[in-house]
């Protein structure tokens, strides 16, 4: 389906012919900038209070648990209700959470438990918005432009990730005390994390305004009432598709073992001695690499040998993690993280295309919810795992062991899931690989509003 306001596409920019796609991505830029800046502020704030790696891990755990608890209803909601409305409600909750973080900073700046409670609510909003957002994308562009949309979506995401952490580090260290004093606003506590949270609020409001103007109305995809069978349909479909199961679980174990994001405050503060600005640079480096790779792939798209390229990118990801863990030079660390981000971008585009192209429209919310569980486990739970292993073995050993583990997983998964390794072109023909006995019951096409 193509939204109104289309215009003739240019090579490499086909997805931008859709008015709704343009507005959706513009909204994402703003909200990701705010979210990434906020994540830097939260991480630095928590570590400044406790000085314990394990407490950084708890921030990831607080974000991950809601995705586990609300997995089934989140997928059903994305298929049962207007996905645009679901996104609006979830990000309204994010606004309330950011206001709560700002209040905690101003009044209880030396307590971490309230921060964890708010992060749990942030994770709750993400658990419902993630499947709805993922399932909304195919409605914004024609099917033939979907891989291009995934590629540009990744590029835009990484562009915001490039600026967001650096913006967070910059805002955190702005010398606002003197400026506020001259404005008779001294003692407001907006320095540091406070000013970051104010900027995040602005980005969230802008996101809601743009999403509210989308003209696409996907309507109801799932017409059956809620039941355990309906909610579990996403798991059943993934289980029937070894290609999807292998893709989801590969990301889970590789990032679970190889992710070093949670430990970056330790590397920045104790090993590279660069402070908050250096932390912002480290957080931005993977996004720089990913952005460059996504721009290349937008112009020269992946056409063949998707499976082989997926496993190659995962191996490069693991090797780059090892280099980062062993580095004591800021520029070498940044280079390793940039290569890591570039390789991960290849994986993201292939896995994102597999998810949507191999899944029927009426199932995309629930299958996306299953994928969100794997992604949440690999990211947020991976942060907890990194914090725990760093507490036990030290940050360097934990990072190197994780990178080696990612390399091992790439080799094992290429053997366990031959259909994923042998995947070639990214088209809707991938759905035909599902055994008929395993396919979900067909659902009537919804009326477009």
Q: Give the domain ranges of the chain.
A: 14-218+227-434
Determine the 3-state secondary structure of 422 from DSSP: coil
Q: What is the pLDDT of residue 3?
A: 46
% of the chain at pLDDT higher than 90: 15
Could you tell me which residues come within 8 angstroms of residue 232 by beta carbon, excluding any fewer than 6 positions away?
72
User: For 445, phi and psi rounded to 5 degrees?
Assistant: -70, 135
Whether the pLDDT of residue 441 is over 50: the answer is no
373 vs 316, more confident: 316
> Angle 146-172/275-299 helices, nearest 10 degrees?
170
Q: How many CA atoms lie within 13 A of 334 on its CB side?
A: 15
Could you tell me which residues come within 8 angstroms of residue 22 by beta carbon, excluding any fewer than 6 positions away?
16
Tokens of 85: 């409305």
Helix H or strand E segment including 145: none
The stretch 311-330 carries a mean pLDDT of: 90
User: Is the whole model's pTM more than 0.85, yes or no?
Assistant: no
**117: pLDDT confidence band, cut at 50, 70 and 90?**
very high
pLDDT in tens, 187-211: 445 567 788 888 899 999 999 999 9
Contact 37, 174 (CB under 8 A): no
CA distance 219 to 213: 16
24 vs 169, more confident: 24
pLDDT in tens, 166-179: 787 777 776 654 45
- In the block, tokens 């979907």 appear at 146
Closest CA to 67 of 129, 111, 14: 129
pLDDT in tens, 83-102: 888 899 999 999 999 999 98
Closest CA to 220 of 86, 78, 364, 371: 78
Closest CA to 247 of 439, 68, 74, 419: 419
Determine the 3-state secondary structure of 199 from DSSP: helix
Tokens of 249: 């679980």
pLDDT in tens, 222-250: 555 555 666 677 778 888 788 888 888 88
Fold annotation for 14-218+227-434: Growth Hormone; Chain: A; (1.20.1250)
Closest CA to 118 of 189, 47, 39, 54: 39
Of 60-64, 85-89, 317-321, 380-384, the least confident: 380-384
261 vs 38, more confident: 38
pLDDT in tens, 259-318: 666 788 888 878 888 877 788 788 778 878 888 888 888 878 777 788 888 999 999 999
- In the block, tokens 């290349």 appear at 296
Q: What is the pLDDT of residue 90?
A: 93
- Please, what sign has the CA dihedral across residues 267, 270, 271, 274? positive
Rounded to 5°, angle at Cα 290 from 48 and 405: 70
29 vs 449, more confident: 29
Q: What is the pLDDT of residue 334?
A: 92
45 vs 202, more confident: 202
DSSP 13: -
Whether the pLDDT of residue 419 is over 50: the answer is yes
Whether the pLDDT of residue 380 is over 50: the answer is yes
Whether the pLDDT of residue 5 is over 60: the answer is no
Of 167-171, 368-372, 441-445, the least confident: 441-445
Q: What is the pLDDT of residue 9?
A: 59
Whether the pLDDT of residue 439 is over 50: the answer is no
Distances (CA, A) of 11 to 14, 153, 258, 348: 6, 16, 36, 22
134 vs 217, more confident: 134
């Amino acid at each position: 389906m193509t939204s109104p306001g289309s215009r003739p596409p240019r090579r490499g920019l086909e997805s931008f012919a859709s008015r709704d796609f343009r507005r959706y991505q513009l909204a994402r830029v703003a909200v990701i900038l705010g979210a990434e800046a906020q994540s830097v502020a939260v991480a630095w704030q928590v570590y400044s209070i406790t000085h314990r790696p394990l407490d950084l891990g708890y921030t990831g755990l607080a974000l991950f648990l809601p995705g586990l608890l609300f997995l089934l209803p989140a997928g059903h909601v994305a298929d049962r209700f207007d996905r645009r409305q679901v996104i609006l409600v979830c990000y309204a909750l994010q606004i309330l959470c950011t206001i709560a973080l700002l209040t905690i900073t101003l009044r209880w700046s030396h307590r971490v438990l309230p921060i964890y409670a708010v992060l749990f609510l942030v994770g709750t909003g993400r658990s419902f918005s993630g499947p709805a957002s993922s399932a909304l994308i195919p409605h914004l562009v024609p099917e033939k432009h979907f891989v291009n949309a995934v590629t540009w979506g990744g590029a835009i995401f990484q562009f915001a990730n490039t600026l967001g952490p650096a913006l967070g580090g910059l805002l955190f260290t702005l010398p606002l005390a003197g400026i506020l004093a001259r404005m008779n606003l001294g003692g407001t506590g907006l320095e540091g994390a406070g000013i970051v949270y104010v900027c995040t609020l602005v980005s969230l409001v802008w996101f809601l305004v743009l999403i509210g103007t989308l003209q696409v109305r996907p309507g109801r995809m799932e017409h059956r009432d809620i039941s355990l069978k309906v909610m579990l349909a996403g798991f059943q479909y993934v289980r029937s598709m070894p290609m999807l199961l292998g893709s989801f679980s590969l990301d889970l174990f590789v990032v679970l073992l190889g992710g070093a994001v949670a430990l970056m405050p330790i590397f920045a503060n104790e090993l590279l001695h660069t402070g908050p600005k250096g932390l912002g640079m480290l957080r931005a480096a993977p996004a720089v690499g990913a952005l460059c790779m996504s721009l290349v792939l937008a112009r020269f798209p992946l056409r063949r040998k998707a499976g082989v390229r997926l496993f190659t990118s995962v191996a490069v990801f693991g090797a780059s993690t090892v280099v980062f863990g062993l580095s004591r030079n800021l520029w070498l660390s940044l280079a390793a993280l940039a290569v890591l981000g570039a390789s991960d971008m290849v994986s993201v585009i292939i896995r994102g295309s597999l998810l949507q192209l191999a899944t029927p429209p009426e199932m995309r919310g629930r299958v996306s919810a299953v994928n969100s569980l794997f992604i949440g486990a690999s990211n947020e739970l991976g942060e907890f795992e990194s914090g725990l292993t760093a507490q036990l073995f030290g940050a360097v050993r934990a990072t190197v062991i994780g990178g080696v583990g990612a390399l091992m997983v790439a080799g094992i998964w290429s053997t366990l899931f031959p259909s994923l390794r042998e995947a070639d072109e990214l088209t809707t023909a991938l759905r035909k690989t599902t055994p008929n006995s395993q396919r979900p019951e067909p659902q009537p096409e919804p009326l477009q509003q």
